[in-house]
Structure 1
Amino acid sequence: MKLTKNRKAVLAKVEPGKVHKVDEAAALLKEITFTKFDASVDIDVRLGVDPRKANQMVRGVVTLPHGTGKTVRVLVLCTPDKEAEAQAAGADFVGLEEYVEKIKGGWTDVDVIICTPNVMAKVGALGRILGPRGLMPNPKTGTVTMEVGKAVEEVKAGKIDFKVDKFGIVHTSIGKVSFDAKQIEENAKEFLHTILKLKPAAAKGTYVKSIYLSTTMSPGLQIDPKSVD
């Protein structure tokens, strides 16, 4: 495999096996990303938990101080009395029956679905379609609520929900490479502090085993968990 000029530049700056502080990694990421598009900044945290056990499940929500940099498309499924509130808050799609039918037909062209508790029976019937795509509204993540306006505003401002996968890894995007290094650092720290607070009592041994920060096309940079404070 022939190394491109950009790839050589990346390899010259990335020291194999080096563990970075969060602020160092945030700055270095910007130097080693050469994509023509605004790449996502991703974080991967490997946890010392067994996600198959309910008492070791790690799941939560976090509002990133600088948002995700993504345009989040929000669908609100609600009764007519809540439609104006959802629209005023900036929801991209608002309604009920027509969107239930569209989803049954395979339409899932949104990033987050918020619904009111009184329509949950209709939304529950869409579980087979929405569940695998991570779109199912859930009271634990604040996406089943009567306060639809507030929920839409929070999601648009950079609130994300996450959960550990079957391999014990939490993976999410925390910004864009166009963010400045300080914004990437602050978003990463906010996310990591949230994970630390969610340590299950049943988890034994080392809780945070490794942390990597990367962009869509860059190598991963290992983070020192002690630099998260």
Structure 2
Amino acid sequence: MKRGKKYQEAAKNIDRTVQYETPEAIKLVKTAATAKFDETIEAHIRTGCDGRHAEQQIRGAVVLPHGTGKTVRVLVFAKGAKLDEAQAAGADFVGGEELIPKIQNDGWLDFDVVVATPDMMGVVGRLGRVLGPKGLMPNPKAGTVTMDVTKAIEDIKAGKIEYRLDKTNIIHVPIGKASFSEEQLADNFQTLMDAIVKAKPSSLKGTYLKSISIASTMGPGVKVNTTQFA
């Protein structure tokens, strides 16, 4: 894959054989983020888990202290008083059964996170084929199936992110924007890693954190020393 000049220039400053300590890694990633837009900084964590086994699945959520820098649009499935509560808490869209055809047939997906009260999961379950592959299905572990819709919405708007293993047992999550200070990115990254270390499956044998790298949207990846999280 041919890379642009800016990418190649940025890559010259990064030694691919070195696992950097967090502050140095963040500094390098910020320096390498030279695009004309405010690039997202993402962490990519390769685990020793085998997601095919239910007990080694990792899934959860954490509120980043400085948010993600992204405006998150929240859709809430609820009924009765919970609809009004969701609206008052700042949900972007609220509704019930009437939203099913809009999402299923019209392909409406103008939202980033879906929250549902437990009594609406029968309805939301019908959207599994649409929401599931996009990682939008509400889940109790992520705090998106709850009666406390106010707290769920506030947490999401404040910078709550969900982490989960992909098919190759890697976790990909945003930790902020290139415009964030090094301290803000380091705080967010540490908060994420604390949560992931805590989520280590008890049945896992061998190395849990195989490799960690952070990168901006258009920039090269920087390896992070995994031993500091052991």
TM exceeds 0.5? yes
Q: Could you say which residue in structure 2 is the equivalent of 1:77?
A: 77
Q: CA deviation at 1:3?
A: 5.9
Distance 1:181 1:2, change over 3 A: closer
Q: Could you say which residue in structure 1 is the equivalent of 2:226?
A: 225
Q: CA deviation at 1:8?
A: 4.7
Does residue 88 (structure 1) correspond to residue 88 (structure 2)? The answer is yes
The Cα RMSD (Å) is: 1.6
Give me the TM-score of the superposition, normalised by structure 2: 0.94
Checking the alignment, whether the CA contact within 8 Å between 2:59 and 2:141 is kept in structure 1 is no
Alignment of 1:82-161 (within 5 A): 82-105=82-105, 106-161=107-162
Q: Could you say which residue in structure 1 is the equivalent of 2:214?
A: 213
Residues 53-91 of structure 1: CA deviation (Å, up to 9, x unaligned):
111111111111111111110001111311221112111
Distance 1:144 1:35, change over 3 A: same
Q: CA deviation at 1:9?
A: 3.3
Q: In structure 2, list runs of 5 or more residues that go unmatched.
A: none
- The letter of the residue matching 2:135 is G
Q: Secondary structure at the match of 1:19?
A: coil
Checking the alignment, whether the CA contact within 8 Å between 1:75 and 1:94 is kept in structure 2 is yes
Does residue 41 (structure 1) correspond to residue 41 (structure 2)? The answer is yes
Checking the alignment, whether the CA contact within 8 Å between 1:214 and 1:220 is kept in structure 2 is yes
Q: How many residues align?
A: 228
Q: Secondary structure at the match of 2:145?
A: coil
- The letter of the residue matching 1:110 is F
Checking the alignment, whether the CA contact within 8 Å between 2:67 and 2:158 is kept in structure 1 is yes
Alignment of 1:157-196 (within 5 A): 157-196=158-197
Q: CA deviation at 1:37?
A: 0.7
Checking the alignment, whether the CA contact within 8 Å between 2:46 and 2:170 is kept in structure 1 is yes
Q: Could you say which residue in structure 1 is the equivalent of 2:28?
A: 28
**CA distance in structure 1 between the partners assigned to 2:184 and 2:11 by the alignment:** 25
Checking the alignment, whether the CA contact within 8 Å between 2:32 and 2:216 is kept in structure 1 is no
Q: Secondary structure at the match of 2:71?
A: coil
Counting aligned pairs with the same residue, the percent is 47
**CA distance in structure 2 between the partners assigned to 1:122 and 1:50 by the alignment:** 31
**CA distance in structure 1 between the partners assigned to 2:229 and 2:196 by the alignment:** 11
Give me the TM-score of the superposition, normalised by structure 1: 0.94
Does residue 61 (structure 1) correspond to residue 61 (structure 2)? The answer is yes
Checking the alignment, whether the CA contact within 8 Å between 2:83 and 2:95 is kept in structure 1 is yes
Distance 1:2 1:211, change over 3 A: closer
Q: CA deviation at 1:101?
A: 2.3
Residues 171-198 of structure 1: CA deviation (Å, up to 9, x unaligned):
1111111111111111111111111111
**CA distance in structure 2 between the partners assigned to 1:147 and 1:26 by the alignment:** 36
- The letter of the residue matching 1:38 is D
Does residue 15 (structure 1) correspond to residue 38 (structure 2)? The answer is no
